[in-house]
Amino acid sequence: MTPEERQDLALFGPAERQRTAEQVGCTVGQVDDCIAKYRWMQHMTARMAQLKKEGKPLPTSIDEVEQKLGAPADPYFSVT
């Protein structure tokens, strides 16, 4: 990925995903899965910061995170 693509994932389109997959020796699906997990973690980090700010208890396991904050909505996301 280029520095610009890292800053703005909207620039990371199909051609860029294909290029990255070839560079690192994986499939485009694996790149998509990695990006989906990254986006989900960004979202969950922000949600947990909001819970902490509101003084609510934080989840202590990934199951609690998914239960309280929602499971990944990205169709490319899969837990492996």
Q: What is the pLDDT of residues 16-58, one digit of tens each?
A: 999 999 999 999 999 998 888 888 888 888 888 998 999 988 8
Residue 80 lies in a domain: no
Residue 72 and residue 36 in contact, taking contact as beta carbons nearer than 8 Å: yes
Residue 79 lies in a domain: no
- Kindly indicate the confidence band of residue 15, based on its pLDDT and cuts at 50, 70 and 90: very high
- Kindly indicate the confidence band of residue 79, based on its pLDDT and cuts at 50, 70 and 90: very low
Q: Where are the alpha helices (DSSP H) in 2-79?
A: 3-7, 14-24, 28-54, 62-69
Q: How many domains does the chain have?
A: 1
Amino acid sitting at position 8: D
- Residue at token pair 């990695």: 34
Residue 77 lies in a domain: no
Predicted model pTM? 0.68
* Rounded-to-integer distance, Cα 32 and Cα 15, Å: 12
- Kindly indicate the confidence band of residue 60, based on its pLDDT and cuts at 50, 70 and 90: confident
pLDDT of residue 72: 62
Q: Which domain holds residue 27?
A: 3-69
Residue 75 lies in a domain: no
